[in-house]
Structure 1
Amino acid sequence: MIKKVIFFTITFFVVNSCSQSEDHQNNCSDRNPEFELVINELTQTFKDASDLKTWPKNYCDATYKVIYEKANKALSLIKKDECNGDFIENLTQLSNQAKGMIQQCPNFENNSFPGGQLSNKYLRADMSLWGAQFNMLRSPSYSSTKFMQLPPVKDTKVFQPFEVIKDCSGFYCTEMVVLPIGNYFIGGTTEQHQALNVDSYRVAWESPRHQVKIGKSFAISKTEVTVDQYAEFVRETNRKEAKGALGFTGQPQISDPEFPMYHENLSWRNPGFPQKGDFPVTCVTRKDAEDYAAWLSSKTGAKYRLPTEAEWEYAAKAGSNTAFFWGDNVNDACGYAAVYDESTDAATGYQFIKVNCNDGAAYTASVGSFKPNNWGLYDVTGNAREFVADAWEDSYNTGPYNELPRTLGVSQFPVLRGGGWDYMPQNIRTSYRSAYYSWLIRSNMWGFRLVRELNT
């Protein structure tokens, strides 16, 4: 039985916007000419790789080595000051991503994940995303926003398991469910993998199945962050965004391995399908989600962040040991989630393997439209897939064994959990996990929900 209490925390909120006044533009544009040359070379590399429909043998390795070299050279040439902070962060992330991709290129060459994320259309999209990002950073109208990191306010009460809390009366504050400490098994079972014919590489990603101990209670949002909530964040912070996001197209284009996944016109405002303000926000990056959490923390005084993988699966399973939080029958999904069903198949023409029911939502739907899991959480599978905090590791060989995020993998390969509105049966299981090989990855399939730390 979920008990509900609403409490309010008022705190001082500070945003320091690095505005683009004339003086600021002149100072920021007064960079080493050699640096500007290197950035031009980088953006040309992105364009060439994006335009090349089929990458020949060894092109992946050669391209990411050039990117790694150029990113590091640019870092050595740029002045280390606040004005260049966003450039420095992006170049650092690009360098680390390229380093990780050099290790992945043999898997690309060998088609180790057939039909998966390490394919030509996704890597070309990565190049388009980085090209758009540097175009944004170099725009005269670009401004960066910083948040004052205030220590979280100490909670004045002890929260009870499954209590519902809310930090403010504003619409941007969502209801959070307090989850207790406990144990569960992370990963899917052999029977579940066989029943849904799960791809062998996806089985490896969620193996070995093992017990996780959640030793610290936390609160997690009942629903995914909505379009209206994200819009308020953008409005208050004057946040800028690069063009484009990833999305599928219908047949016959989707069957062509050379079809472009990147679409310049897609954004969180226009995901390529109709949406309302209470639909989950999509077409955002993990960095966008992290910055949203920092903004909400600064407004409320509580500590918000992305969930870890261990926290996410614990919350999603809600004490269940079945393939889906509602049971093992995938065709019951339409009462619980917006997934790739008959309505989505008819609307998109993707011709994916579908769930044999009709959930009434061809794309995303209002958050909380479907039945929740046993702990009162909505849309933990379906609707929008969700970013988590961990660095990517391609198995559970190193854990997690507790609620903490894993950090030894490649943090520039964002990890996502839960299925999305266009995800087929094997990929809406609560144990399904994967990563995408771009720090800037964003798609009309993916969004996020937040964890609130309990500071007692």
Structure 2
Amino acid sequence: MELSNKYKIALTVLVLFLIIQIDSKTQNQSFEPYKQEIPHTSLSFEMVTIPAGEFLMGTSADEFGHEADESPQRLVSIDAFWMGAHEVTWDLFELFLDKDYEKAVSTKAIAQQVDGLSRPSMPYLDMTFGMGKENKPALAMTQYGAIQFCKWLYLKTGIFYRLPTEAEWEYAARAGSQSAYFFGNDPEELTEYAVYESNSQEETKPVGSKKPNPWGLYDMLGNVMEWTYDHYAPYKESQRILKNPVERSQELYPQVLRGGHYESDASELRSGKRFASDPVWKQLDPQIPKSQWWFPEAPFVGMRVVRPLISPTEEEIHAYYNQEPIADY
């Protein structure tokens, strides 16, 4: 028996309502913290949710340790994303660094795409700088090397991972605060949250050794500085809200790092503090052009990954991962 138009309309509305409810429920469930396993290995890493929101990026002139490149402050809007709960460790980075090691620890043959991936040249120095590897942050990779690690993760997992933008990094570090540190303004409290000059004994510590910030991120302050994707440039005055800002450049130096490191003082661990990469970090490298993978004089440089809630297109992913390295003569 054929349904009347009235019942057809009612049924269509009901179906659409159910689809919307199911879709909404799925979306709400999908944006949750999770553990990313590296296929066919026993290794994994944790990702936490960073909600969308707005914040005042930069610092005011009256903040303890304020520097000129941290202002003018700008109102910034950030889309939701996931961020690694910890800095990338040697346990993970070494799989990318050494294909033979990856093959040895994998329970299945590695995929053809992964097998053919360009990997870092094996360093001629001890890139742990005598500080050890187990659960310690990976060190001294260039920004290009950090991006290629993200590409390796993508080929292994099928999920788009990348470096945070400078704005995303500061937004995540602040975790809703506007003080010098996410816990307030008192440097005396840093020892509970950060590995830095006062408690590091001049070396990195295992990731997660200190308390996390309110969004579940460990070692955002101290241990190692962390790469962002941005070119280092002065902040510009803006009368409007900046939506997911990122500073791109075709120049090799300088690029932005954040967070301070194990030899930083308290003023360098502020959420708004900016650092710029420096060619002197390759001064010991005898190669011409110098290595696109390593900074032999930067044991304080590391990385952390993010994953956007809305994945980019395949073309955008390809463009992100396959940028040619800029020669360093």
Structure 1 length as normaliser, TM-score? 0.51
Q: Within 1, Cα distance between the matches of 2:275 and 2:204?
A: 21
Q: Within 2, Cα distance between the matches of 1:401 and 1:224?
A: 27
Structure 2 match to 1:444: 299
The letter for the 2-side match of 1:190 is A
**1:370 aligned onto 2:241:** no
Structure 2 match to 1:131: none
Q: Within 1, Cα distance between the matches of 2:32 and 2:190?
A: 27
Structure 1 match to 2:60: 189
Distance change (3 Å), C-alpha of 1:235 and 1:441? closer
Deviations 1:228-276 (A, max 9, x none): 11011112368343757xxxxxxxxxxxxxxxxxxxx342xx32x3223
Partner SS for 2:275: strand
Q: Within 2, Cα distance between the matches of 1:400 and 1:440?
A: 36
Structure 1 vs Structure 2: percent identity of aligned residues? 32
Match of 1:431 among 272, 283, 301: 272
Structure 2 match to 1:390: 230
* Contact 1:313 1:431 (C-alpha < 8 Å) held by counterparts: yes
Distance change (3 Å), C-alpha of 1:295 and 1:326? same
Structure 2 match to 1:176: 47
Structure 2 match to 1:220: 83
Q: Within 2, Cα distance between the matches of 1:213 and 1:411?
A: 27
The letter for the 1-side match of 2:209 is S
* Contact 1:172 1:232 (C-alpha < 8 Å) held by counterparts: no
* Contact 1:363 1:421 (C-alpha < 8 Å) held by counterparts: yes
> Following superposition of structure 1 onto structure 2, how do residues 223-234 of structure 1 map, counting pairs within 5 Å?
223-234=86-97
* Contact 2:70 2:273 (C-alpha < 8 Å) held by counterparts: yes
What is the CA distance between 1:188 and its match in structure 2? 1.3
**1:208 aligned onto 2:72:** yes
Partner SS for 1:387: strand
The letter for the 2-side match of 1:274 is M
* Contact 2:77 2:241 (C-alpha < 8 Å) held by counterparts: no
Any stretches of 5+ residues in structure 2 without a counterpart? 1-24, 100-116, 280-291, 312-329
Q: How many residues align?
A: 253
The letter for the 1-side match of 2:164 is P
**1:274 aligned onto 2:127:** no
> Following superposition of structure 1 onto structure 2, how do residues 87-106 of structure 1 map, counting pairs within 5 Å?
none
What is the CA distance between 1:408 and its match in structure 2? 5.1
Structure 1 match to 2:32: 163
Partner SS for 1:167: strand
Deviations 1:8-42 (A, max 9, x none): xxxxxxxxxxxxxxxxxxxxxxxxxxxxxxxxxxx
* Contact 1:175 1:222 (C-alpha < 8 Å) held by counterparts: yes
* Contact 1:302 1:453 (C-alpha < 8 Å) held by counterparts: no
Q: Within 2, Cα distance between the matches of 1:381 and 1:278?
A: 17
What is the CA distance between 1:434 and its match in structure 2? 2.0
Match of 1:413 among 228, 250, 254: 254
Match of 1:380 among 193, 197, 220: 220
The letter for the 2-side match of 1:163 is E
What is the CA distance between 1:292 and its match in structure 2? 0.4
Deviations 1:96-152 (A, max 9, x none): xxxxxxxxxxxxxxxxxxxxxxxxxxxxxxxxxxxxxxxxxxxxxxxxxxxxxxxxx
Match of 2:141 among 284, 302, 305: 284
Partner SS for 2:83: strand
* Contact 1:392 1:415 (C-alpha < 8 Å) held by counterparts: yes
Partner SS for 2:36: coil
Structure 1 match to 2:263: 422
Distance change (3 Å), C-alpha of 1:409 and 1:331? farther
Match of 2:121 among 224, 241, 245: 241
Structure 2 length as normaliser, TM-score? 0.70
Structure 1 match to 2:164: 307
What is the CA distance between 1:412 and its match in structure 2? 3.6
Superposition RMSD in Å: 2.6
The letter for the 2-side match of 1:334 is T
Partner SS for 2:307: strand
Q: Within 2, Cα distance between the matches of 1:299 and 1:451?
A: 16
Any stretches of 5+ residues in structure 1 without a counterpart? 1-155, 245-264, 348-361
Q: Within 2, Cα distance between the matches of 1:336 and 1:228?
A: 23
Structure 2 match to 1:323: 180
Structure 1 match to 2:191: 334
